[in-house]
Structure formats: C-alpha cells, structure tokens
Amino acid sequence: MAHINRRSWLKTLTSAGAGAVLLSPSQILAAMPTIEENTTNGMVRLSSNENPYSPSPSMKKAIAAIDPDLCRYPNSHFATLEAIIAKREGLDPSQVVVTSGSREGLKAVGQMYSIRGGEIVTCLPTYKALISYAEFLGSKIRAVPLTEELGYNLPGIAKEIKSETKMVFICNPNNPTGTLLDPGKLEIFCRKWSASVPVFVDEVYYDYIEQKGYPSMKSLISEGLDVIIARTFSKVYGLAGVRIGYMIANTRIATEIRNSLMSGTNIMGLKLAMTALEDKEFYNFSLEKNREGKRLIYSALDELNLRYLPSHTNFVFFKTGRNISEVQRAFTTEGVQVGRAFPPYLDWCRISTGTTEEVKVFVGALKKVFA
Ligand SMILES: Cc1ncc(COP(=O)(O)O)c(C=O)c1O
C-alpha cells in the first residue's frame, strides 16, 4: 500500500467501532509510520531503544475510543490492569504495581532503599534511573565493573555486599550492553542474597530475550522472596510516550512501592496497556522486525570487522575504536542519532533497532563513517 493512502486507510480502521483489529503482518506494516513521520528534526532517531512501529492500528483505534474517559480520575483502572497483568504472570494482584513508565517505579524503589542512607551494589555501565536517584537522595553506589565479556558480574557484586548494603540492582538483559545472565546463576544469586538484601532485577527488555524459555525471576516473588522486578510497555508494546510500566514484588514490598509513587500513570496509559496486551499480532510483528533489524546491523558490522555483543534487546552495542563524541558527531552529519556515552566504554556505541528503512539509513551511514 502506498504511503499516501496509509492515513485514510487507518482512519477507516480506527473509526470502525469497538473490538480488536486483527491484521496480518503486511497489513500492520502498511499502516506503520513512514521514515519521514518517524524522524525528529530530520534525524533518524536510534538513540533511545523505542519501538518505531507504534502506534499499531489497534492502538489508534483505542485512542479514538478513550475520549469520554478523559474527564475521569483513573483510580479504578489501576486495579483492573493490575489484575490483568497478575493473571498473565501467574501472580496475585497485590504483587503488581502499575507505574508511570517503569522509571517511576525504579525511582520509587530507589527512594525506599536510600532514604536511610547505606549502599546500593550494582555493575556499571547499566540503566541508571534507580541508582542515580538513590545517589541523589544520599545513598552510596558501590559499582562493580562488568566481566571481561561485558556481562553483569554476579560474583563481583556478591563480594561487595556488606552490612551497609540496602539493595542490589541487576539489569537483565543489561542496557547498554544487551547481554543476558545465565539464568541458573542468576536464580542462585537471587535466592541466596535476597535473604539479606532486596534484589532488584530490571526485566524491561525481557520480551526480546533470544533464549527460548528463559525464566523471569518472578517465580521467586511467588515464593515470597525479596526480589523486585521492573517491566514496561515502552519497548515491544511501543508505548514509550504514554508512560506506563509496572513493578512486581511480594505483597509487603509491592504495598510499600504503591505508597511511594508520586502519582502513577493516567487513563490513556492504563487503557492503551490493556489494548496492547490483547494485540498478539503487533507484539509478534514487533519482535520479528526487531530480529530483522538486528540481523541487518550485525551483518553490516561483520562486513566492517567491528566487534559487537549479540543482543537480547532492541539495540546493539558495538566497538568503534573511536571516541563516542566523535562518532556521535559523524553520525549526526549523516542524519542518524545514536546512543549516548557509556563510560568507561567510550569507544563503544549503542544503536537501537529502528524500522527496516531506518536501519538501512544507519547501515549506509555506518559504511561512510567507517569507510
Ligand atoms: C533497562 C531499562 N529499565 C527501565 C527503563 C525505563 O523505561 P520506561 O520508564 O519507559 O518504562 C529503560 C529505558 O530505556 C531501560 O533501558
């Protein structure tokens, strides 16, 4: 379908009344934003690990149906979404806390465990929302370097857990490296150490894990352990702009998180999340396009002999051998926005998977920058 017809076709779809919109992958693709619609200030934005194929047709339809609810407080919808998520995850609704993006939950938890001082142990580089906020509030961050393979260093973290430790933060798969921990080792770690300190496992990229049957650490929560998990609707579900995510924890910790939230999310986020959970087609489509994007990125990096880490996320971390500020400038000149600096890996670059068209623009730019 020509792009020119896309808007009117979508309009027909979204005005077709209530009910799920079930589409084939090619129909979904035809309804997706064009590269021109996705660019910000003329730049292809591959810097923030978003899902550029969103909003899906079912999302557009749901947005059109939300109007009458906009004047209402969203309170009752929190419980509805938490119950839906709990059922899917095999948990009790009291163990799920819906938040304004997972970042609100990360900050709430950071606050809970830093308010009385002490230390948080983690690896760096990693996703810093929780630890930066905890540091701002007075916590000391004990940062362990990654392993030689740039993986999370669990034995290194274990060595740093002391009486002052208030929490351990693990990001799995990790941002910015895209690496995944051995699930058995992670489970043993969580079981052992959560008896002394809460262990936070950020599973925001869980859906992208390439290893079949890779377990979530949520099963430990069902056993009542002090493990806290972050999930989001910002990535594979494509709702980064709407701000909706959730925390999973045992009922005691979950209640404390709920009481620590600033305001939670809004009716739009709650309703769109419910729609997103029903749209299996868009979920599978997004995962497949992400795989395709990664394949294109890997093959270009292979061609140029640039080292990269096989990724379990929607981005790829690759070694440029040049300072990231210089690399960012070179890509900007080519119209591509790449990820920020991740010290101490200043000669590495993180690139998000965009649409296939956007990835092709990146590949063209890569070949020019590293010619
Ligand atoms: C590992 C990780 N956790 C959490 C977040 C926060 O995401 P959000 O607040 O959109 O749910 C991000 C965002 O990129 C992330 O990479």
Whole-angstrom distance, CA of residue 16 vs CA of residue 39: 29
Q: Which residues contact 66 (CB under 8 A, 6 or more apart)?
A: 267, 268, 271, 272
Output the CA 348–ligand 1 centroid distance in Å. 20
The closest-lying atom of ligand 1 relative to the alpha carbon of residue 205 is 1
pLDDT of residue 133: 96
Q: Where are the beta strands (DSSP E) in 113-213?
A: 119-124, 140-145, 165-171, 199-202
Mean pLDDT computed over 294-316: 98
pLDDT of the residue at 6: 45
- The answer to whether the CB of 129 falls within 8 A of the CB of 274 is no
Note the pLDDT tens digit of each residue in 108-144: 999 999 988 999 999 999 999 999 999 999 999 999 9
Cβ atoms of 60 and 80 within 8 Å: the answer is no
- Is residue 3's pLDDT more than 90? no
State residue 35's pLDDT score: 66
Atom of ligand 1 nearest to the CA of 126: 1
Residue partners of 69: CB distance under 8 A and separation at least 6: 267, 271
For ligand 1, the distance from its centroid to the CA atom of residue 333, given in whole angstroms, is: 28
Whole-number Å distance, alpha carbon 205 to ligand 1 midpoint, is 8
Residue 7: pLDDT band (50, 70, 90) is: very low
For ligand 1, is residue 127 a contact (CB within 6 Å)? yes
pLDDT per position as a tens digit, 150-201: 999 999 999 999 999 999 999 999 999 999 999 999 999 999 999 999 999 9
Q: Which pLDDT tens digit goes with each residue over 265-288?
A: 999 999 999 999 999 999 999 999
Backbone angles phi and psi of 336, in degrees to 5: -125, 130
Q: Ligand 1 centroid vs 149 CA: distance in angstroms? A: 23
Domains in the chain (CATH in brackets) are: 3-56+279-369 (3.90.1150.10), 67-277 (3.40.640.10)
Assess whether pLDDT exceeds 50 at residue 5. Answer: no
Q: What is the C-alpha to C-alpha distance for residues 304 and 308, in angstroms, rounded to an integer?
A: 11
Distance (angstroms) between ligand 1 centre and the Cα of 352 equals 13
The reported pLDDT for the residue numbered 23 is 72
Residue 21 has pLDDT above 90, yes or no: no
Instruction: Give the ligand 1 atom nearest the CA of 234.
Output: 10
Banded model confidence at residue 300, pLDDT cuts 50, 70, 90:
very high
**Residue 369 pLDDT grade (very low, low, confident, very high; cuts 50, 70, 90):** very high
Best of 49, 54, 102 for a ligand 1 pocket test (most atoms within 8 Å of beta carbon) = 102
Mean residue pLDDT across the chain: 92
**Atom number in ligand 1 closest to CA 243:** 10
